[in-house]
Amino acid sequence: MTGELGQFALCLALSLALVQAFAGLAGARETAAQARAVASGSALGFFVFIALSFGALTYGFVTSDFSIADVADNSHTLKPLIYKITGVWGNHEGSMLLWVLVLGIYSALMTLAERGGARLTSAALGVQGLLASAFVLFILFTSDPFRRIDPMPVEGAGLNPLLQDPGLAMHPPMLYLGYVGLSATFAYAAAALITGDAERSWARAARPYMLVAWIALTLGITLGSWWAYYVLGWGGFWFWDPVENAALMPWLVATALLHSALATERTGAFRTWSLLLAIAAFSLSLIGTFLVRSGVLSSVHAFANDPERGLVILVMLAIATGGALLLFAWRAPKLEGGAEFDTVSRETALLLNNLLLCFAVTVVFFGTLYPLALQSLTGERISVGAPYFAMLFAPAFVALLALVPFGPRLSWRKDDLRQAMRALAPAGAAALVVGLIVLAFATPRSLAAAGSFALAFWVLGASAVDINKRLKTHTVSANGLASALAHAGLGISLIGIAATTVWRGEAIDVIGPGQSLNVAGYELRLDRVEPVDGPNYQAMRAIIDVRRDGRDLGTITPEKRSYPVEGEAISDTAIRTTGFSDLYVALGDDRGNGRWSVRAFFNPLAPFIWFGGALMALGGLTSLWGRVRVRFARLAPAE
C-alpha cells in the first residue's frame, strides 16, 4: 500500500509543480497578486507531497518491503537500520527522489522568506517549478522508485559494502543540498532577468541560498575526500576521479559566484557576470548529475546501451542552460552601465579571483570531459590523470592563494597598494620565516613543501592581521570574520596537502605472525589474524602491536571484510591519529601460511586537509548567521 501512496503523492507533487511553474511565472507581472498566492501555496504543497513520497520509500526500506523493486535491489533484512535508511539514497531511483525533496525544501524556504520582493520571489518559484516538473517527470518515466515486482523475492540483494559507511551515508545528502541550492541561485538569476530587475536585489536575495549551497558542497567534498582516504586503503585523499571532479566544478564556480556577487550586491559591479556565473554553477551541477547518473563514466558504451536516463538529463541540461542563456542574451544588454573602480581596489581583486577560479574550473572541465568526447568522436582512448591537473590546476591555485590576502585588505572603488602591503607585512614575515625553517630543518628537504608552507602562512597570517585590525578598530562583522575563517581554512588544507604529499612514509610487505613492518620510526608487529563476525559481514581482523622507540603504543586492528550477500570484499583501514599525523594501516590479501600483505603509511599533518575544509564551511556558516540575524533583527520591531 505505502508504495502506491508514495507514487500517488509523487503524481500529485508533479501537478503542483506544474501549477507552481505557471502561476509563479505569471506572478512576475506587477498586477498578478493572485497568481503569486497560488504559486506560493503550490510550492508548499509540493514540498509536503514530495516529503510524503520520500517517507513512503523510506518506510519501504525500513520495513524491507521487497515487493518494491528498488528495495529488493538495494536492501537486505540483515543490514543495520542506519544503512537501511541511508540505502534510500544509495541507489539511482532513491537518490533522484532525494534530489527533488531537497528542491522542494528550497522552494518552501523561498516562499516563506520571500526575499527580494514578491515579484522576484514569484518568478524564482516559477523557475523552480519548471525544474521540479522536469525532474519529477524524469523520475516517473525513467526511474520509478515504487515499481512493484511479482513474485516478491524473499530476500534483498543488499547494498554495495563501500556505501555501508557513516561518512558516505551523509555525503550524498550534503552534495544534493549543494547542487540543488545552486538551483535556487539559478532561479533567482533567471527571475531577475525575467522581471528585468537585475541590478542588485537578486544577488542579495539569492545570497543565503548561495551560501547554504557552498557550505554543503564544501562539507560534501570534504566528507567524500575523507571517505576515500580511509576506505580505499591507499592513503590518498583526492584522485581527480571524474565523480570527484563532478562535485569540484560546481564548488569552484560557486566560490567564484560568492565573490563576484559580493561586488554586485555592494556596488552593482559585475552584475551581468554574476548572472552568468549563477547560470553556469547550476549547469555544472546538472552536468555533475549527468556524469554520475548516466553511467557514461564507467564506459561510453554503458551509456550507449541504456541511453534513456542520460539522454533525458542531457535534454534537461540543454533546456535549462540554453533557456537561461537565451534569456540572458535578450535581457542582459539592457542592463545599464558598468561599475567604477580603480586598478587597485577590491573589485580588481575579486576580478582576479574570478579569472583564476574560472581557469581552474576550465582545467577540471577539460580534464574530465575531454577523454569522453575524444572517445565518442574518434574512438581513441586517453587517460587524464593527476599529472595533468598538477601541471595546470596547481599553478592557478598557487596564484590564487598568493592573491587571497589582498582581497579583504583592499577597500572598494579605490585603494593604495603600498598601504595594503604595509598592513600585510607581518603575514609576509611569517611566511618567510616558516618557509626558511621548513627548508632548513625538514627532511627530506623540499622546495615545494617550503613554498607551500610559506604560502599557507601568508594566507593564515593575513587572516590573523585582518581579525586583529577589526578587533582594534571594533569593526568585527560576521562577513569579515567569515572571510578570515574561510581563507584560513584554505591555508590549513594546503599545509596538510603539502606535508602528506612530500613527507609521507610508506611501507608494504608480506608478513606473518611475529614479523614486523617499519614505517617512519613506527614498528608494526603482526600478532595474529583472527576471524570476526559483523552484523552482515565476516571479517579477518589483524591484531598489530604498535611500538615507537621501544615504547608500546597499543594495538591497531585493520580488517578485511567480506559481505556474502553482495559477494564483495572491502578492507577496513585502521587509522591511529594524533590530530597532527595519521598512522594508517590497511590489510591486503591472505598469502597463505598465516602470512598477509600489509600496507602502512605515515601521513604527517593529513588531518589538516579536512580541518581546513571544515574551517571553510564554518566561515560560510558565519556569513550565513550574519545574514539570518540581520533579517530577524529587521523582522522583530514589526511584530
Partner 1 sequence: MMRALFAVLFAMLCFAGAAFADYGPEKLSDPRLEARAVALQRSLRCLVCQGESLDESNSQLADDLRRLIRGRIQQGQSDRQITAFLVSRYGDVILMKPPLEPCTYLLWFGPLLILVFGGGLAGLIVYRARARLGQSG
At how many degrees (to 10) do helices 166-195 and 92-113 cross?
A: 50
578 to 617: interface string for partner 1, x by CB under 8 A: ----------x-----------------------------
Q: Rule CB under 8 A: is residue 297 a binding residue for partner 1? A: yes
| Cα angle value 282/286/289 (rounded, 5°) | 140
Least separation, in Å, of the C-beta of 443 and partner 1?
16
Using alpha carbons, select from 91, 121, 93 the residue that is nearest to residue 109. Answer: 121
Q: Rule CB under 8 A: is residue 173 a binding residue for partner 1? A: no
Q: Rule CB under 8 A: is residue 266 a binding residue for partner 1? A: no
CA atoms in the 13 A half-sphere facing the CB of 138: 28
Cα gap 12→6, rounded to integer Å:
10
Least separation, in Å, of the C-beta of 154 and partner 1?
22
Cα gap 197→120, rounded to integer Å:
8
Burial class (CB in 10 A: 0-12, 13-18, 19+), 378: exposed
Residue 144 or 509 having the CB closest to partner 1: 509
Least separation, in Å, of the C-beta of 237 and partner 1?
11
The SS3 assignment for 30 reads: coil
Residue 378 or 475 having the CB closest to partner 1: 378
Query: Among 4, 196, 319, 370, which residue sits at the site for partner 1 (rule: CB under 8 A)?
Result: 370
Query: Among 65, 93, 265, 347, which residue sits at the site for partner 1 (rule: CB under 8 A)?
Result: 347
Residue 231 or 431 having the CB closest to partner 1: 231
Stretch binding partner 1 (CB under 8 A), from 240-248, 307-315, 529-537, 539-547: 240-248
Stretch binding partner 1 (CB under 8 A), from 23-31, 227-235, 515-523, 533-541: 227-235
Q: Rule CB under 8 A: is residue 272 a binding residue for partner 1? A: no
Cα gap 582→579, rounded to integer Å:
7
Query: Among 8, 59, 359, 412, which residue sits at the site for partner 1 (rule: CB under 8 A)?
Result: 359
DSSP assignment letter at 383: -
182: its cell numbers: 545552486
Least separation, in Å, of the C-beta of 269 and partner 1?
7
Q: Rule CB under 8 A: is residue 378 a binding residue for partner 1? A: yes
Rg of the chain (C-alpha set): 26
Cα gap 592→512, rounded to integer Å:
9
Cα gap 562→354, rounded to integer Å:
47
Q: Rule CB under 8 A: is residue 242 a binding residue for partner 1? A: yes
- Enumerate residues 6+ apart whose C-beta is below 8 A from 392: 363, 367
Query: Among 22, 59, 388, 397, which residue sits at the site for partner 1 (rule: CB under 8 A)?
Result: 388
Cα gap 233→228, rounded to integer Å:
8
Residue 273 or 610 having the CB closest to partner 1: 273
Stretch binding partner 1 (CB under 8 A), from 216-224, 334-342, 476-484, 607-615: 334-342
Query: Among 2, 64, 142, 362, which residue sits at the site for partner 1 (rule: CB under 8 A)?
Result: 362
Query: Among 334, 381, 418, 472, which residue sits at the site for partner 1 (rule: CB under 8 A)?
Result: 381
Within residues 501-520, the interface with partner 1 by CB under 8 A covers 508-510
Q: Rule CB under 8 A: is residue 476 a binding residue for partner 1? A: no
Reduced 3-state DSSP string for 592-619: CCCCEEEEEEEEECCHHHHHHHHHHHHH
Stretch binding partner 1 (CB under 8 A), from 55-63, 381-389, 463-471, 544-552: 381-389
Residue 2 or 515 having the CB closest to partner 1: 515
Q: Rule CB under 8 A: is residue 412 a binding residue for partner 1? A: no
Reduced 3-state DSSP string for 484-504: HHHHHHHHHHHHHHHHHHHHC
Stretch binding partner 1 (CB under 8 A), from 21-29, 75-83, 378-386, 532-540: 378-386
Query: Among 501, 568, 625, 628, which residue sits at the site for partner 1 (rule: CB under 8 A)?
Result: 568
Q: Rule CB under 8 A: is residue 239 a binding residue for partner 1? A: yes
Least separation, in Å, of the C-beta of 459 and partner 1?
22
DSSP assignment letter at 577: E
Cα gap 553→110, rounded to integer Å:
54
Least separation, in Å, of the C-beta of 50 and partner 1?
31
Greatest C-alpha distance within the chain: 83
Count of residues near partner 1 by CB under 8 A: 53
Element (H, E) at 510: strand 505-511
Residue 60 or 242 having the CB closest to partner 1: 242
Cα gap 313→125, rounded to integer Å:
21
Least separation, in Å, of the C-beta of 56 and partner 1?
29
At how many degrees (to 10) do helices 201-231 and 607-638 cross?
A: 150
Residue 371 or 405 having the CB closest to partner 1: 371
Cα gap 203→188, rounded to integer Å:
8
Residue 154, number of CB atoms within 10 A of its CB: 8
- Per the CB < 8 A criterion, the answer to whether 75 and 86 are in contact is no
Using alpha carbons, select from 281, 314, 12 the residue that is nearest to residue 133. Answer: 12
Q: Rule CB under 8 A: is residue 470 a binding residue for partner 1? A: no
Residue 135 or 601 having the CB closest to partner 1: 601
Cα gap 50→16, rounded to integer Å:
10
- Where on the chain is the footprint of partner 1 (CB under 8 A)? 232-234, 236, 239-242, 269, 297-298, 337-343, 347-348, 351-352, 354-355, 358-359, 362-363, 366-367, 370-371, 374, 378, 380-388, 391-392, 413-414, 508-510, 568, 571, 588
